[in-house]
Amino acid sequence: MPRIAFLFPGQGSQSVGMGKYLYEMSPDLAAYFDTADRVLEYKLSWLCFEGPEEELKRTENTQPALYLVSAATLHALREAGIIPYAVAGHSLGEYTALHAASVFDFETGLLTVRERGVAFAAAGAERPGAMAAIIGLPGEKVAGICGEVSTESEVAVCANYNEPSQTVISGDPAAVERAREACTAAGAKRALPLPVSGAFHSPLVASAADRLSAFFENVEFHAPRIKFVNNVSAQAIDDPEVIRLALLDQVTFSVRWVECVQRLVELGVEAFVEVGSGKVLSGLAKRIAPNIPTYTTESAESLQKTIEALRPAN
């Protein structure tokens, strides 16, 4: 079996109907959804399966929903004998990656991402922000433009370095709009506003980090049992306290996804599997590391194809 990295998606990968095929696949997988409903004391499973979309898109619902679907998919892959050599997650997905690495159990992670979603939603309400995707400019160019258009009272920063020519910016609405205009003038192919309620991965949501820090005081972190590459440093880290601090930094720091994927390749990864809803990360991986095969699990068909391709020979 090749050395496999599991990649766990973040906010934006959700869709109504996600995870329903898992629930219907086996009692073990259905138990994840039933447990989530019990622990959170509301029908998160129903939101995943039936929506409505507007309710699923609310940050406090989206984050635990994506975590739930990815965790159930992880179990399905493990049951088929597909075990990761390394893991990484994009923003919210980092929490599922940590669950996959046994840093905390399913229920602990579920409660933690629920708190994270509530914290992000509250921070966005306290200080409304904006985000935009810049396509067709190098990340360092976008970062320079953000610095040029920012002022003491209005900031724009790079939130996600998703691929070499796709960077998401975040910050005060006026500064983000100035950055969009400047990026377009500098030759960006597209500069698209994103439908979000807050300026994630920017200084505007610092209050979310404060709230999470208090919550983390009651969360026990263990050393990962497999290689874990984190967003903030794009390095493999294994000290529980360093992981705790990295998750807090992640709230306001950039997601260095290009470097995360490159680091996984340097660690010897030979295949990528996107675990959960959507195909965003597999698409990014193809552009960052085109020589590494990628697999998805967003449907019963794609999961089965992935299992057939990667299941170890008996």
**Would you say residue 123 has pLDDT above 80?**
yes
Radius of gyration (C-alpha) of the chain in whole angstroms: 19
pLDDT of residue 292: 98
pLDDT tens profile 100-120:
999 999 999 999 999 999 999
**Would you say residue 35 has pLDDT above 90?**
yes
pLDDT of residue 88: 98
CATH for the stretch 4-125+204-310: 3.40.366.10
Q: How confident is the model at residue 314 (pLDDT cuts 50, 70, 90)?
A: low
Q: Edge-to-edge strand order for the sheet containing 227-228?
A: 227-228, 86-89, 4-8, 271-274, 294-295
> What average pLDDT does range 274-293 have in this prediction?
97
Instruction: Estimate the crossing angle of helix 93-100 against helix 240-252, to 10 degrees.
Output: 170
pLDDT tens profile 237-255:
999 999 999 999 999 999 9
> What average pLDDT does range 198-206 have in this prediction?
95
Fold of the domain built from segment(s) 130-195 = Alpha-Beta Plaits (3.30.70)
Among 60, 57, 198, residue whose Cα is nearest residue 118: 60
The question of whether 91 is a catalytic residue gets the answer: yes
Q: How far is CA 50 from CA 47, 53, 262, in A?
A: 5, 8, 37
Domain extents for the chain?
4-125+204-310, 130-195
Q: How confident is the model at residue 216 (pLDDT cuts 50, 70, 90)?
A: very high
pLDDT tens profile 48-94:
999 999 999 999 999 999 999 999 999 999 999 999 999 999 999 99
pLDDT tens profile 256-272:
999 999 999 999 999 99
Q: What one-character-per-residue DSSP string does the chain give?
A: ---EEEEE--TT---TTTTHHHHTT-HHHHHHHHHHHHHHTS-HHHHHHH--HHHHTSHHHHHHHHHHHHHHHHHHHHHTT---SEEEESTTHHHHHHHHTTSS-HHHHHHHHHHHHHHHHHHHHHS--EEEEEESS-HHHHHHHHHHH--SS--EEEEEEEETTEEEEEE-HHHHHHHHHHHHHTT-SEEEE---SS-TTSGGGHHHHHHHHHHHTT------SSEEB-TTT-SB---HHHHHHHHHHHHHS-B-HHHHHHHHHHTT--EEEE-SS-SHHHHHHHHHSTTS-EE--SSHHHHHHHHHHHPPP-
Q: How confident is the model at residue 195 (pLDDT cuts 50, 70, 90)?
A: confident
Tell me which residue has tokens 């698209």.
Answer: 192
Token pair recorded at residue 166:
């796709």
Among 280, 279, 232, 221, residue whose Cα is nearest residue 260: 232
> What average pLDDT does range 296-307 have in this prediction?
97
Q: Which of 13, 91, 150, 170 is catalytic?
A: 91
Distance, in Å, from the CA atom of 48 to the CA atom of 39, rounded to the nearest integer, reads: 16
pLDDT tens profile 146-162:
999 999 999 999 999 99
Instruction: Estimate the crossing angle of helix 59-79 against helix 27-40, to 10 degrees.
Output: 150
Q: Which of 201, 202, 254, 282 is catalytic?
A: 201
Q: How far is CA 99 from CA 41, 88, 124, 160, 301, in A?
A: 21, 11, 26, 22, 25
